[in-house]
Structure 1
Amino acid sequence: MKLDNRWVTADGTLNELPITIYSREDWQVLADKGSFPICIQIAWHAEQRDESNAYPSRQDMLKIDVFHHQLQSQIEADSHAVVAMVITHDGVNQWVIYCDDIETVKAGLNKLSAPEQGFPIEIVADEDAGWETFKKVHQAIQ
């Protein structure tokens, strides 16, 4: 099942620094079904921060945007995963992804058009059938 590509945006502060959180508008449809029990978090640590707002620099944000669009189109293509949330804060862009098969997501990541040195990302994955990682952040911004 695919979600609509409509996003809700929340802006605020965390530890006195700006934070922006984008979440899928209809995320609860998938969370309630329990069909994506694995949570994958990808963090992109920017090379440079914009000192006026602590977000990744404009140059880094351009690269992050390209990565985001590749990531979403690649891993959501076969309906085995969904990018549920994107968080930008303190020089880091983080994607919260839910999937039913981690190997499919890994294969999708390997198909992305990466620079020669690769992407500056860290990836962690955990079982999270109740979408608790997502819900914790979502409830904090309500």
Structure 2
Amino acid sequence: MAYRIINNQLQQTKIEFTKANGDIYAILERAPDNAYLFARWTGIQTMETIQEGGKVYLDVMQQYPASKLLNSHKELIGPWDFANEWISQVWTPKAVELGMRYMAQVLAPGVYGQMSFHQLHQRIGNLLEVKMFDNEESAKEWLLSV
């Protein structure tokens, strides 16, 4: 697995994460004016893909602090609850320490991905404000309003 930075100018950062076969499994972008970070997860995830994406997200937050995350699972396939302990015990506390306060979650279309997020929400809902959405546009509108 690997990632490549597409653009790393002051106004725009875009990082594509790829599996060994070249398939993109996530894209992380910084919105204009650093209004929020936008993570789009695609396909089936593994513990390795989730940790790699999460660690790079934290690196980006260190360089460009952002209090808001739009986390989209609209193209995610299957469950990922095996990573909930790492996300809740390691990733979320570090993200909050770096300034994250709001998370707009676009739910996966499948029941397994939705169940995985609902289980995670029970673990992290007291650390930051989380709202769930069916589409990215509503999620973006909420983030820009808080």
* TM-score clears 0.5: no
After TM superposition, the score normalised by the length of structure 2 is 0.32
> Which one scores higher on RCO, CA 8 angstroms, separation ≥ 6?
1
After TM superposition, the score normalised by the length of structure 1 is 0.33
